[in-house]
Amino acid sequence: MRYLWPCFIIFNLIIINTSSGLAKGNEGKRSNLNWLTYYPDTGNKRDAAVKDSVLKDSINIVKRHTVYNRLADSVNNDPAGLALFPGVSLQQLLKGKSAGLYIQEPSGEPGTIQNMFIRGAPMPLLSRKELYQSQPLVVLDGIPLITEHPFAFDIQQYDFNRIGPATNIYAGIDMNNIASVEVLKDLAASAIYGPRAVNGVIVLTSKSPLNARSITFNSYIGLAQRPGVTTINGRYENAFRQRFYDLYTTNGRYSDDENYPIYLSDSLNNAYSGKSDWSDLYYRNALVYGINFGISGGTNKANFRFSLGNLKNEGVADQTGINRYSAMFNINMKPLKWLVFSAMVNANRLERQRNKTLRDRFAQINYFPDLSAPPAPNKDYYGEYLDQYKKGFDDNKTNLIQGYGRLAIELGKFNISSTFLVDYNEGYRDVFYARTLLQGNSYASNYYGYNQRVMINNKATYDVIFNKLHDFHFEVGQSTQWDTYKYNNAYAYKGVNDYIKINLLDSDPKLPNGNDNPNYLNPVAFPRELTYRFLDKMKDNLVSFYGKADYTFNSKYTLSATMRADGSSNAQPTSRWFYSPIIAAAWSLKNEFLADATKVNDLVLRASVGRMGRLNAYDNYAQGPQYTASVGYTGNLTVPGYNAFSVLTRPYSYGWVGYGIPWSYSNQIDVGVDAGLLNNRLHFSIDYYTKTEKNLLLGIPAYAEYGYKQSIESGMSVQNSGVDLTIRADVFKSKNFGWTSTFNINYNKNRLKALPRGLKEIVIGDRYLKVGEAVDQYWLLVNQGIYSSQAEVPVVNGQPIKYNGIAMQAGDPRWQDINGDNAIDNNDKVLKGHSLPVFSGGFDNDFKYGKWNLGLSLYFNLGRDLINQEMANRFDFINREGNSDVNSVKEITYWEKRGDYNKYPLYNPWSTVIPYRVDQDLFLENASFVKVRSISLGYDFTQALKLKKIRLNKLYVYGAVNNAFTITPYTGQDPELVTYTGYDTGYGQPIPRTYTLGVKMEF
C-alpha cells in the first residue's frame, strides 16, 4: 500500500471537484473552455469528416459508434495543448496523457531515445532486442514509421548507446503540424495496421489543408534552468573513505595504504583538493526555442498546406543540445467528382551535440586508457581538459523524410483507394579524438546508416443502410511492406597527426606508370592494421490481406469482425503465414434502456477479443542452422576477421537457431464501458484488458558440448492484465469561469505463464524468470544489516556461514539465509520490486476566467522500484579503483554529492564477498513519484484585436513552467532517470525545469 496514497489523493480530489462543480455549474449546452482545446461531441452518429479522412483507417465501426471511448485514446484531443510543452520528442509530449501509455525517459539529454509501453511490457526486457520488440507502432497519416533496428548492438561491446548518432527518431515530429493524436490499445482499434501494431498504436494525423487562406505562426522561447548541485572534492572523498579505514585497518590511516589513489593522497594538490567549481563549466542555464510557420489555402477542387519550423533545445549539462529543421507539405486535389488525389511530405533535419562522458567515449573507441585518476573537479584544470575536445569533433546528423501519395475513387457507397507510402531516415556520425585525450593515441570513426520502409496499400469499402435500421460496412484490403536496415561503420587508431582528422584513403586506382595501385582504397592517415570496418544489412518483407465486416442494428447493437492473413520473410518457410481473427461488439445501453433519461447522454458497453501475430525482429530466425562471418578474440568480440580475412563460423555466441520456430502471437481481450452524463459534463471510460503473449522466443542454455551458449527456442508466455480509467469533467461552467479536469490512470500487472521446454524457472545473466511470477522483478539478496563482530556470525557444526564458499567475517553484510543451509548463494536470492509501474497516469486541469487560461498538469508513477547502482558504485570504491574496465570509469559528476550516505551500513570494503554488490535489496528503492509536469498561464487577445478592426483570427500569448517539481521518496537524482532494466547508473542527465513564453497566431 506504500505507493497508493498519491493515487487515492488524486482520485478523491477529482471526484470531490467533479461533484461540487456539477452541483454549482450550469446544465446547459456544453461550450468550449479554451480555443486550444476541442472535445468532439457527435453522439452515436457516424462522423463523416472522420470517415472520409486518413484517420478512418485507424477507427473501426465500434469506435465510430462509441464516441466516448475515444476520450481515453485521443490524448485529450488536444495536440495544440501538447505543443505548449517545450518537448523535443513525441514521447516527452505524450507522457502522462493517455491511460495505459507508460514512457521512460532515461536521460534529460536532448534528442536521446526514450521508451514507450502500452499496457505493460509484453516480454522480459533482457536486452535491446526485447526492448525494440516491445515498442508500440507510431503512424503518421497512415505511414507506419520505421525506427532504428538493434542489430548493430551485435558488434558492440556495450549497449549504452547504439553506434551512429543514436538520435530519437520521434524527435522529428512537430506537434504544431498535428491535428489529432490517438493511442489505440486494443486489437479492435489497431488490427487495421497488422502485426506491427501488436504492442498498440499511436496515430498522428496532420492538419488538413483549408479551402480559405490561413496563415499560422506559433513560437516560444525559454530558459532551461541549471540544476542546483552540491559539489565535493578530494578532501571530502578522503573524509568519506577515512571512516572505513578507521574501522577496518590496523593503523586507521589511508596514507599508509600503498594502493591508495595518488590523486587523493596529496592533500596539497589543488587540482583535486582545492576548489570544486567544475559545475560552472558542466551545468548551464540553457536556451530553448521553437518556431513554426504555416500557410494553407485553395478551393474545393484543390487545396494545400505548407509549414516550416525550427526547434533548438540546449541541454543543461555537458554542453549537449539538438537543433531541428522541419518542413511539411500536404495537398488534396479533386479534378473529378469521383476522383481524389492527396499527398504529404514531411522532412526533418536533426543535428545533435551529444555528451562527453568517458564511459560512452571508451565504449565507442573499444579500449580503456589509464583510469588511475578521474577528471579534476577544479574549474581551471577541467577547462583545460575540455579544450582537448575542441581539437576534434563529434558530429551527429539525422535526416528523416516521410511521404505518401493516395488515389481514391468515390462511387457513392463503393470506394476504392490505393496509397504509396515511404519512410526513410539516415544518420551520420563523424568522430575524431585528439591524441591528447587518449594518451598519445588519436582516434577517428565514421558511421553511415539508414532505415527505409516502402509500402503499398490497396483498399475497397462498401457502405449500405437498409430500412434505416441495418447499417453495413464491408472492407477488404491488401498491403505490401519492404523494410531495409543498413549501416557502414569504420574506426581507426594512431593517426599521422591531430591535423588530419579523417581516415583518408588512397583513392587513385592507378600508379603514375599506369600499373594498378596495390594500395588503392587503403588508409593513408591511419595505419592499415589499426583500421577496422563493419557493415551489415537486414531486410524484412511483409505481405498482408484482410477483410472486415461491420453491422449495426437500430443504433443499439454493433458487431465487427476482422480476419487478417500476414506473411513475413522473417518467419520460417514452414510457418510463413499467420491468420489473425478479431471480433468486437458494442451495445448502446442508452438507446436500449435510457432513451428518455436526460441525465444520461450516452452509455455503451463494448468488448473485443482477438489474436495478432508478432513479427520476428531478426531475419536469422527464418534461416534455421546457419553460419556467420564474425570471429573475434578475447577482449574484443567485434573484430570481423583474422589477419584481414573473413572467417565463416557457427554463431556460437548468438546461439543455435533450429527449425520448427512458429510465429509468436498475442491473445487479447478488452471489455469496456463509456459514458456521457449530466449534459455531457462528465465523461468516463473504463477498460479491463488481458494480453497473453504466446510462443515468445528465449535463449535457453544448451549445446555447450558443441560450443553454443544457448538455443533459441519458442514457448515462453507472458500475460499482462489491468484496468484503464479516464475521467473528464466540466467541473464548473459559467459565462466567465470554467474548470475542466481530466484524470487518467492505468493499473497493470504481468505474470510469466510458461517457459520453453516446460521449464518452471531459468537464470539468464542477473535475471531470474520463474513461472507464476512477474517478469519485471529484481533478483536480489535480502539485506538484514551488518555483522558488527565475529561473535554475530552464525556458526553451524563449527562452520561459519559462507557466501559462495567464502566465510563471512565481522564487517560483512548480514544476508538472509532463505533456505537455511548455512550458505549464502543464488538459492537465497528472492524476487522483489517492479521496474515498471503498477499504477501510472496523469491529472490535467484547465481553468478559464474571461480571456485568461490556466493549465495544471501532473504525471505520476506508483508501485515502481529501481536499483540505485550509482550509490552501490560510490561505496564499492575499493573494487572500482584503477582497473581498466567500464566499472572503474569516473565521470566529472563523480565530484557531485548525490543520495543519502547515512542510510547505508559501513561494511568492510576490502572483504572478498564484495559487500556493496548491487544485487541486494540494500540498493532497491521505492521510485514512485508525482511530478508537476506543467503550469501554464495564457491570455486570448483575439476579441480585443477584432474590436480594433485588426485582421487577426487568433492571438494567444502564454507563459509556462515545465517540470516544476517532483514528490518522491527516492533518495537519488531523479526516479525517472533509469535504464530500461531499472537501474539508476547516474549517467542520466537531469530533466530540467524550463520557463517559456510563447505566442500562437492565425491570420
> What tens digit of pLDDT does each residue of 290-319 get?
999 999 999 889 999 999 999 999 999 999
Burial of 468 (0-12, 13-18, 19+ CB in 10 A): exposed
Give pLDDT, residue 29: 30
Give pLDDT, residue 496: 87
762 and 665 in a common domain: yes
936 and 825 in a common domain: no
Give pLDDT, residue 62: 39
355 and 210 in a common domain: yes
pLDDT in tens, 113-172: 999 999 999 999 999 999 999 999 999 999 999 999 999 998 888 889 999 999 999 999
Which has the higher per-residue pLDDT, 942 or 519? 942
Give pLDDT, residue 942: 87
Residue 812 has pLDDT above 90, yes or no: yes
pLDDT in tens, 922-943: 999 999 999 999 999 999 998 8
Residue 849 has pLDDT above 90, yes or no: yes
249 and 206 in a common domain: no
Domain for residue 755, yes or no? Answer: yes
**In the predicted model, what is the mean pLDDT of the chain?**
88
259 and 300 in a common domain: no
558 and 458 in a common domain: yes
pLDDT in tens, 443-455: 999 999 999 999 9
Give pLDDT, residue 266: 86
* Residue/partner pairs of 9-18 with CB below 8 Å, 24 or more apart: 10/743, 10/843, 10/858, 10/860, 10/930, 11/743, 11/745, 13/843, 14/727, 14/729, 14/741, 14/743, 14/843, 17/729, 17/731, 17/739, 17/741, 18/682, 18/727, 18/729, 18/731, 18/741
Question: Considering the chain, what percentage of its residues have pLDDT values greater than 90?
Answer: 74
CA-nearest of 418, 486, 479 to 454 is 479
pLDDT in tens, 51-91: 233 323 333 333 333 333 444 466 655 677 777 889 999 99
pLDDT in tens, 315-362: 999 999 999 999 999 999 999 999 999 999 999 999 999 999 999 999
Residue 512 has pLDDT above 80, yes or no: yes
Domain for residue 642, yes or no? Answer: no
CA-nearest of 538, 509, 504, 510 to 524 is 504
Give pLDDT, residue 630: 60
SS3 552: strand
Q: What do you get for the CA distance between the two ends of the chain, in Å?
A: 53
pLDDT level of residue 862 (50, 70, 90 thresholds):
very high
pLDDT in tens, 653-669: 888 999 999 999 999 99
Domain for residue 591, yes or no? Answer: no
Least confident of 252-266, 705-719, 896-910, 976-990: 252-266
Domain for residue 886, yes or no? Answer: no
Which grid coordinates belong to 107? 536521460
Give pLDDT, residue 210: 83
pLDDT level of residue 639 (50, 70, 90 thresholds):
low
Domain for residue 629, yes or no? Answer: no
Domain for residue 649, yes or no? Answer: no
705 and 792 in a common domain: no
pLDDT in tens, 756-788: 999 999 999 999 999 999 999 999 999 999 999
80 and 100 in a common domain: yes
Question: Against a cut of 0.85, is the pTM above it?
Answer: yes
CA-nearest of 605, 843, 676 to 745 is 843
Rounded Cα–Cα distance for residues 385 and 374 (Å): 11
Domain for residue 654, yes or no? Answer: no
Which has the higher per-residue pLDDT, 17 or 865? 865
pLDDT level of residue 367 (50, 70, 90 thresholds):
confident
Question: Considering the chain, what percentage of its residues have pLDDT values greater than 70?
Answer: 90
* Residues of the domain holding 258: 234-274
pLDDT in tens, 698-733: 999 998 888 888 999 999 999 999 999 999 999 998
799 and 695 in a common domain: no
pLDDT level of residue 15 (50, 70, 90 thresholds):
very low
51 and 132 in a common domain: yes
pLDDT level of residue 374 (50, 70, 90 thresholds):
very high
pLDDT level of residue 11 (50, 70, 90 thresholds):
very low
77 and 46 in a common domain: yes
Q: How many domains does the chain have?
A: 3
Residue 44 has pLDDT above 70, yes or no: no
Domain for residue 632, yes or no? Answer: no
The pLDDT of 845-870, averaged and rounded, is 96
753 and 861 in a common domain: yes
SS3 70: helix
Residues 545, 162 contacting (CB under 8 angstroms): no
